[in-house]
């Protein structure tokens, strides 16, 4: 009897894991604030990136401020392959990364190990 | 708290438990027994493993998972079960939680250091820059910081000093060591009028030069920007790991639950042993090794090639190089020196040269400069012309003294007449690898000018090296077939495609692509389309900016032998990526079943501690293998292998 209960709990756990990680969940998207002809956006790095998807206006100089709160060394770098940016994110420090917004398109950024991803849309 | 201090804390607190484990068979007991273990492990969990939990929870909330998720779940399961077991007086395994934490942190300490090594090579290049320069201001030489040097400044460089920015020597001469930028080890003699590159080292002479490019415009800055981009680019092979890493951790968690269920429910083992198998599965799985395999090798490989004067622009190019079967070369400036000289003039020397010089005075063709140089040497002043017209791929024509005159190649001959003797002379000159230019007035050819562009001394060796690699070599040129074949024979090229109009080069490359992947080596503006169309475009560093922009690989040293070296290092790097991926997959594909106890029947199992150790060293070994790429021997078929 006990074994059947354990089995059911185990299967429920598996379903939960599958739903939680593979199911469709909304992604936080934010548009940068434009002040004094410069657009800025703060990205919180904690178990991933918040927001995970950023929209920037084309042609306006942009700065993305990454602040890492997560202790994991997984997230200790941020890489923008399309822009040749690979920046160290010391824990708790705000790192300003300038983005070239001259070309429109969809770009991606990732952590140093390519485990966490973020999306950058310039339009 | 840094990883380093977290590691030391967990190591020191684990030592008593390690002693207990080793000395237990000899009758030694840890003072305090299980209670001491509980205290030590609780401290490790709170201080050293705490951050794993923090990170795991933060990503869990975002529907993400990472390595920390696995470590946190693995250690916590072992810990909390042991607490429960202690209360119910069963066997505990606190030490598993403690040792796994220690090992994982040990792996991270090393890995962090290695990753730092892998990424810092290029940043060191920037530090090569001179800090200040001696600039002429108001008639006096003053030292100013590098950032204040402006375009047009006159700068003095003394022996042993670094050249601050890019520019042209105005006075004096010296030998300059350019190895940091071009990879060329021999110092280069520089005189007034020669270009110097910022950050290179002046050896023996003193000279003045005029700054032409400063700040981000300098060659070094451009190279650094290019290499950085390459190092962080994605190789197509990575797409596979990207997909795997997204689903990896949840899959492992599911496997771990299944492992527990199979052992406990179906095979009827105790809760403790079923849990140990489940924990081992969680702990041995290592998504990081997969994620690190490609980027670290790419970073080291492109960094090393940059030091050799070979700039590989991205991972895509690096991967494409591996399938190249044909290498196509442009002739002028790539295989040959690109400095054509007039060798023979047939007909009335003064008359022919004077007419040709007058017509070519307005032309930008490389052959025109050879004719003008010869005219200048002979003291001939070009006469004014009217109605100048360039006919693409054929030549030029204009009115001289009221009469139509022309200079061009044999394609122009359709409209003009030439006598047999001249025709024969032309063929003979072409067979001697000389380009023949026909000069005429009215409708009659009055003379010939033979121009030769000798092959570079290194071309032959470079081609031989590529052939030794089993590649087919092809020369693509707008030049006459006979000239092209003669040059091809001198340097040993397999096939020649001659008489190609500049606009058609790309089409010929596309045609060759039907039989396999093609690399194109070129330097001119007219080569840009072919460089783009080819699977791998290799631009000579001396080439025009547009050629360098279009190429996927840039040979800074301008040495054709670097084509072979570029292929060698690309292949080496790509092989290393594949090796890394292989190991990363093997770790997981073999490790997980073993940890799950599938081979229990033949006595092969993994305790959580060993699983933790294996996991820690899987990512470490991948990164180490990438860093070792810096030392790996690059087998090139050319001399002075690097």
Q: Do residue A14 and residue B241 have CB atoms under 8 angstroms apart?
A: no
Q: Please report whether residue A68 resides in a domain.
A: yes
Are B132-221 and B341-452 in the same CATH fold?
Answer: no
- Residues of B within 8 A of A86 (CB-CB) are 119, 228, 231-232
Q: Do residue A71 and residue B54 have CB atoms under 8 angstroms apart?
A: yes
Q: Output the six-digit token pair for B609.
A: 């501690």
Distance CA A109, CA B413 (A): 59
Q: Is the pLDDT of residue B325 over 80?
A: yes
The answer to whether B440 touches B394, Cβ cutoff 8 Å, is: no
Edge-first strand order for the sheet with B188-190 is: B188-190, B174-177, B201-202
List chain B domain ranges.
3-123+231-296+576-629, 132-221, 311-336+455-555, 341-452
Q: Please report whether residue A12 resides in a domain.
A: no
- Residues of B within 8 A of A85 (CB-CB) are 228, 232
- Residues of A within 8 A of B225 (CB-CB) are 84
Q: Please report whether residue A17 resides in a domain.
A: no
pLDDT tens, B94-114? 888 898 888 888 888 877 777
Minimal Cα distance from B48: which residue of A?
A71
The beta-carbon neighbor of B254 closest among A7, A17, A116 is A17
Q: Do residue B59 and residue A83 have CB atoms under 8 angstroms apart?
A: no
Strands A62-68, A77-80: parallel, antiparallel or unpaired by DSSP?
A: unpaired
The answer to whether B329 touches B509, Cβ cutoff 8 Å, is: no
Which residues share a beta bridge with B555? B310, B540
Q: Do residue B67 and residue A74 have CB atoms under 8 angstroms apart?
A: yes
pLDDT band at B124 (very low <50, low <70, confident <90, very high): low
What phi and psi, each to the nearest 5 degrees, are found at residue B232? Answer: -100, 10
The pLDDT value given to residue B34:
84
Domain holding A64: CATH number? 2.60.40.420
Task: Find where tokens 């054709």 sit.
Answer: B560
Higher pLDDT, B14 or B609: B14
Distance CA B398, CA B358 (A): 9
The pLDDT value given to residue B584:
86
pLDDT tens, A38-61? 888 999 998 888 888 898 888 888
Q: How many other C-beta atoms lie within 10 A of the C-beta of residue A120?
A: 21
The yes or no reply on domain B341-452 and CATH 1.10.3720.10 is no
Q: Do residue B63 and residue A21 have CB atoms under 8 angstroms apart?
A: yes
The pLDDT value given to residue B123:
65
Which of B68, B259, B623 would best serve as a mutation to test chain A binding (most A beta carbons within 10 A)? B68
pTM of the predicted structure, to 2 decimals = 0.76
pLDDT tens, A8-29? 999 999 999 888 888 877 777 8
The pLDDT value given to residue B119:
64
- Residues of A within 8 A of B241 (CB-CB) are 114
Q: Do residue A47 and residue B55 have CB atoms under 8 angstroms apart?
A: yes
Q: Is the pLDDT of residue B54 over 70?
A: yes
The pLDDT value given to residue B296:
85
User: In Å, how far is A93's CA from the nearest CA of chain B?
Assistant: 14
The mean pLDDT value for B452-460 works out to 88
Which is nearest to B452 in space by CA: B314, B349, B337? B337
Q: Output the six-digit token pair for B338.
A: 């690109």
Range of the domain at A71: 27-122
Q: How many domains does chain A have?
A: 1
Distance CA B382, CA B360 (A): 9
The pLDDT value given to residue B575:
92
The beta-carbon neighbor of A18 closest among B3, B234, B254 is B254
Higher pLDDT, A3 or B546: A3
Beta strands in chain A (DSSP E): 29-31, 33-35, 38-45, 49-50, 53-56, 62-68, 77-80, 85-88, 94-99, 105-111, 117-122
Distance CA B439, CA B447 (A): 5
DSSP state of B336: B
The pLDDT value given to residue B118:
66
Minimal Cα distance from A90: which residue of B?
B2
**Run of H or E including B408:** strand B403-408
Query: For the ranges B121-125, B139-143, B249-253, B518-522, which has the lowest average pLDDT?
Result: B121-125
Query: For the ranges B9-13, B111-115, B567-571, B588-592, which has the lowest average pLDDT?
Result: B111-115
Q: Do residue A79 and residue B232 have CB atoms under 8 angstroms apart?
A: yes
Q: How many CA atoms lie within 13 A of B310 on its CB side?
A: 23
Q: Output the six-digit token pair for B394.
A: 């054929």
Mean pLDDT of chain B: 85
Q: Which of B68, B166, B330, B527 is catalytic?
A: B330
The pLDDT value given to residue B641:
42
Q: Do residue B265 and residue A84 have CB atoms under 8 angstroms apart?
A: no
Q: Is the pLDDT of residue B642 over 60?
A: no
- Per DSSP, the residues of B573-607 read HHHHHHHHHHHHHHHHHHHHHHHHTTTGGGT----
Strands B188-190, B132-137: parallel, antiparallel or unpaired by DSSP?
A: unpaired
Could you give the 3-state DSSP secondary structure of residue B489? helix
The pLDDT value given to residue B467:
92
Q: Which range, B268-277, B359-368, B448-457, B458-467, has the best average confidence (pLDDT)? A: B458-467
Q: Is the pLDDT of residue B165 over 70?
A: yes
The pLDDT value given to residue B472:
94
Distance CA B289, CA B278 (A): 21
Instruction: Identify the CATH assignment for B132-221 out of 3.30.565.10, 3.30.465.10, 3.40.630.30, 2.70.150.10.
Output: 2.70.150.10
- Residues of A within 8 A of B270 (CB-CB) are none
The pLDDT value given to residue B324:
93
Q: Is there a catalytic annotation at residue B330?
A: yes
Which is nearest to B332 in space by CA: B521, B134, B517, B574? B521
The answer to whether A122 touches A85, Cβ cutoff 8 Å, is: no
Q: Count of CB contacts below 8 A, A vs B?
A: 121
- Residues of B within 8 A of A15 (CB-CB) are none
Which of B221, B253, B255, B620 would best serve as a mutation to test chain A binding (most A beta carbons within 10 A)? B253
User: In Å, how far is A13's CA from the nearest CA of chain B?
Assistant: 8
Radius of gyration of chain B (CA): 34
Minimal Cα distance from B290: which residue of A?
A113
- DSSP H helices in chain A: 2-22
Could you give the 3-state DSSP secondary structure of residue B175? strand
The mean pLDDT value for B595-611 works out to 85
Q: Please report whether residue A6 resides in a domain.
A: no
The mean pLDDT value for B601-605 works out to 84
The pLDDT value given to residue B125:
65
The mean pLDDT value for B398-421 works out to 82
Q: Do residue A70 and residue B67 have CB atoms under 8 angstroms apart?
A: no
Which of B254, B269, B285 would best serve as a mutation to test chain A binding (most A beta carbons within 10 A)? B254
Q: Do residue B54 and residue A70 have CB atoms under 8 angstroms apart?
A: yes
Mean pLDDT of chain A: 86
Start-to-end C-alpha separation, chain A: 60
The pLDDT value given to residue B126:
66
Q: Is the pLDDT of residue B336 over 80?
A: yes
Distance CA A121, CA A106 (A): 5
Could you tell me the fold of the domain covering B311-336+455-555? Rossmann fold (3.40.50)
Query: For the ranges B109-118, B311-320, B591-600, B604-613, which has the lowest average pLDDT?
Result: B109-118
- Residues of A within 8 A of B267 (CB-CB) are none
């Amino acid at each position: 009897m006990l074994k059947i209960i354990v089995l059911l709990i185990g299967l429920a756990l598996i379903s939960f894991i599958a739903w939680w990680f593979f199911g469709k969940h909304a992604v936080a998207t934010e548009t940068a604030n434009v002040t004094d002809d410069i657009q800025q956006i703060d990205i919180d790095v904690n178990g991933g990136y918040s927001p995970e998807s950023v929209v920037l206006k084309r042609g306006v100089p942009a700065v993305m401020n990454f602040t890492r709160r997560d202790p994991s060394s997984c997230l200790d770098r941020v890489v923008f392959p399309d822009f040749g940016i690979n920046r160290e994110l010391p824990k708790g420090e705000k790192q300003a990364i300038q983005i070239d917004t001259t070309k429109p398109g969809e770009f991606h950024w990732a952590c140093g190990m390519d485990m966490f991803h973020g999306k950058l849309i310039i339009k | 708290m840094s990883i380093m201090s977290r590691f030391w804390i967990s190591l020191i607190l684990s030592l008593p438990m390690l002693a207990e484990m080793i000395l237990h068979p000899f009758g030694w007991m840890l003072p305090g027994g299980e209670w001491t273990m509980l205290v030590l492990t609780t401290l490790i969990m709170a201080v050293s493993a705490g951050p794993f939990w923090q990170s795991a929870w933060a990503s869990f909330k975002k529907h993400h998972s990472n390595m920390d998720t696995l470590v946190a779940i693995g250690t916590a399961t072992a810990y909390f079960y042991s607490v429960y077991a202690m209360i119910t007086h069963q066997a505990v395994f606190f030490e598993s939680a403690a040792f796994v934490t220690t090992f994982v942190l040990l792996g991270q300490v090393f890995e962090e250091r290695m990753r730092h090594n892998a990424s810092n090579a290029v940043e060191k290049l920037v530090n090569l820059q001179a800090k200040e320069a001696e600039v002429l201001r108001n008639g006096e030489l003053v030292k100013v910081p590098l950032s204040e040097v402006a375009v047009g400044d006159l700068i003095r460089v003394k022996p042993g000093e670094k050249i601050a920015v890019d520019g042209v020597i105005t006075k004096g001469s010296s030998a300059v060591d350019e190895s940091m930028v071009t990879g060329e080890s021999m110092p280069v003699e520089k005189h007034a009028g020669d270009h110097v590159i910022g950050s290179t080292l002046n050896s023996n002479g003193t000279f003045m030069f005029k700054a032409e490019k400063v700040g981000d415009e300098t060659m070094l800055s451009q190279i650094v920007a290019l290499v950085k981009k390459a190092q962080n680019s994605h190789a197509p092979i990575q797409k596979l790991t990207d997909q795997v890493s997204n689903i990896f951790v949840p899959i492992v968690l599911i496997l771990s639950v299944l492992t527990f269920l199979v052992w406990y429910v179906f095979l009827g083992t105790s809760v403790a042993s079923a849990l140990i198998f489940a924990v081992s599965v969680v702990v041995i799985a290592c998504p990081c090794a997969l994620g690190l395999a490609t980027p670290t090798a790419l970073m080291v490989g492109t960094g090393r090639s940059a030091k050799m004067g070979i700039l590989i622009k991205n991972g895509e190019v690096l991967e494409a190089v591996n399938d190249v079967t044909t290498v196509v070369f442009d002739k002028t400036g790539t295989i040959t020196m690109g400095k054509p000289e007039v060798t023979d003039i047939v007909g009335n020397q003064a008359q022919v040269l004077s007419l040709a010089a007058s017509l070519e005075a307005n032309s930008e063709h490389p052959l025109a400069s050879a004719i003008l140089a010869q005219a200048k040497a002979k003291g001939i002043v070009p006469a004014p012309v009217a109605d100048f017209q360039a006919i693409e791929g054929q030549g030029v024509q204009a009115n001289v003294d009221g009469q139509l005159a022309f200079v061009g190649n044999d394609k122009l001959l359709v409209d003009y007449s030439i006598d047999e003797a001249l025709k024969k002379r032309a063929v003979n000159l072409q067979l001697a690898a000389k380009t023949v230019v026909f000069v005429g007035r009215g409708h009659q050819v009055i003379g010939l000018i033979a121009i030769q562009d000798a092959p570079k001394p290194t071309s032959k060796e470079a081609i031989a090296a590529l052939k030794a690699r089993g590649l087919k070599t092809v020369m693509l040129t707008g030049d006459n077939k006979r000239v092209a074949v003669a040059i091809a024979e001198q340097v040993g090229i397999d096939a020649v495609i001659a008489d190609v109009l500049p606009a058609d080069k790309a089409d010929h490359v596309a045609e060759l692509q039907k039989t396999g992947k093609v690399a194109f080596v070129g330097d001119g503006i007219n080569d840009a389309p072919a460089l783009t169309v080819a699977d791998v475009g290799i631009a000579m560093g001396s080439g025009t900016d547009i050629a360098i922009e279009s190429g996927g690989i840039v040979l800074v040293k301008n040495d054709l032998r670097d084509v072979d070296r570029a292929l060698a290092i690309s292949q080496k790097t790509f092989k290393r990526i594949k090796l890394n991926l292989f190991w990363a997959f093997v770790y997981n594909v073999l490790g997980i079943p073993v940890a799950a106890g599938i081979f229990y029947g033949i006595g092969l199992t993994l305790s959580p501690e060993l699983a933790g150790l294996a996991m820690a060293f899987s990512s470490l070994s991948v990164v180490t293998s990438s860093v070792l790429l810096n030392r790996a021997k690059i087998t090139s078929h050319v001399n002075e292998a690097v």
